[in-house]
Amino acid sequence: MLVSRSSAKQPTPEETRQLEKLQVQIERAVANGKISKQEMEDIKRTIWADGKVTVEELELYRIFVTDKIVAGEVEYEF
């Protein structure tokens, strides 16, 4: 897996838009307290859309999905 460390530089306006789009997508997916397998796949597809995964994308995923699943705030539906 290619993980790009873009934190050494400021994100471009396009990267910022992509991160905002990803955050909105994730927030919508977990808004009801559940996240489906399809929603997880859609999020992963968005993250990989440009062929790389940035640290910022992984951080958004961790904060809004993984941490909430671990805390019991979001339930993963298979």
| pLDDT score at 25 | 97
5 inside domain: no
2 inside domain: no
- The pLDDT tens digits of the residues spanning 5-23 come to 555 678 889 889 999 999 9
24 has a pLDDT exceeding 60: yes
37 inside domain: yes
Query: How far is the C-alpha of 76 from the C-alpha of 20, rounded, in Å?
Result: 23
- The pLDDT tens digits of the residues spanning 35-68 come to 999 999 999 999 999 898 999 999 999 999 999 9
Query: How far is the C-alpha of 13 from the C-alpha of 33, rounded, in Å?
Result: 31
Residues present in the chain in total = 78
Query: Considering its fold, how many domains does the chain have in total?
Result: 1
| pLDDT score at 3 | 54
Domain with 23, as residue range(s), is 13-77
